[in-house]
Structure 1
Amino acid sequence: MANSEHFSSDDTSMDSREEESSDRPNLEFSEDEEILIIRMYNLIGERWTLIAGRIPGRTAEEIEKYWNSRYSTSN
């Protein structure tokens, strides 16, 4: 019982690393994903949720951030 309540410093640092990585989405997309995003964007515009529904494991937020980082025309 006492062991289940004991946390080592390694456990805590691992949790903070997981939180950091979840705050920063993976903005590296495969070539196939990029092509699909471009094609879907040309068809339906900035409907990120619909685009994300076509790419397993990706969220609308990830796709929107990726799009804005790659193709945003605002300076």
Structure 2
Amino acid sequence: MDGNRRWRKKPKATKCESEEVSSARWEAIDMTDQEEDLIYRMYRLVGDRWNLIAGRTPGRTAEEIERFWLMKHTHGFA
């Protein structure tokens, strides 16, 4: 091996780079006022632990909760 050659590790792809998101998956999610209130309160308590929040929100998956939160709180979606 040549002493002048330096090996670099390739950085791991982030979730955004490694997954393509179809526009169908990012349709608006309708939440009731009670669900929104619960999500906001739970987020203040536990942060972005979507599985934990979804466990307290009947009929909602962690992916739905996270997508709802991102669509409400990300400037690109607002």
Which deviates the most, 54-63 or 25-34?
A: 25-34
Task: Pick closer, same or farther for the CA change 1:47–1:61 going to 2, 3 Å.
Answer: same
Q: Quick one: distance in 2 between partners of 1:57 and 1:71?
A: 22
Unaligned runs of 5+ residues in structure 1 are 1-22
Match of 1:46 among 40, 45, 48: 48
How big is the shift at 1:73?
5.0
Normalised by the length of structure 1, the TM-score is 0.62
- The equivalent of 1:57 in structure 2 is 59
SS of the aligned residue for 1:29 comes to coil
Q: Percent identity?
A: 49
For these two proteins, the number of residue pairs brought into alignment is 54
RMSD: 2.6
Report the TM-score when normalising by structure 2: 0.60
User: For 1:6-56, what per-residue CA distance to the aligned partner results, in whole angstroms no more than 9, with x for missing partners?
Assistant: xxxxxxxxxxxxxxxxx5677100000000000000000000000000011
Alpha-carbon distance, 1:71 to partner: 1.4
Shift in CA distance, 25/37, structure 1 to aligned 2, threshold 3 Å: same
